[in-house]
Amino acid sequence: MTKSWSASLEHGEYEDDRELVIKHAIEAVEETQSGTYVNLVTPHNFGNPEQYLTSILNEKFHDILDMKYIDQCGCGGHVLRIYK
Query: What average pLDDT does range 49-53 have in this prediction?
Result: 95
Query: What average pLDDT does range 67-79 have in this prediction?
Result: 85
Residue (of 24, 25, 35, 50) closest to 1 by Cα position: 35
Per-domain residue ranges of the chain: 5-83
Q: What are phi and psi of 61, to 5 degrees?
A: -105, 10
pTM recorded for the entire structure: 0.91
Q: Determine the pLDDT at residue 63.
A: 72
DSSP assignments along 27-82, one per residue: HHHHHSPTT-EEEEEE-GGG--GGGTTHHHHHHHHTT--EEEEEEE-TTS-EEEEE
Fold of domain 5-83: Translation Initiation Factor IF3 (3.30.110)
Q: Determine the pLDDT at residue 18.
A: 97
**25-42 confidence digits (pLDDT tens):** 999 999 999 999 999 999
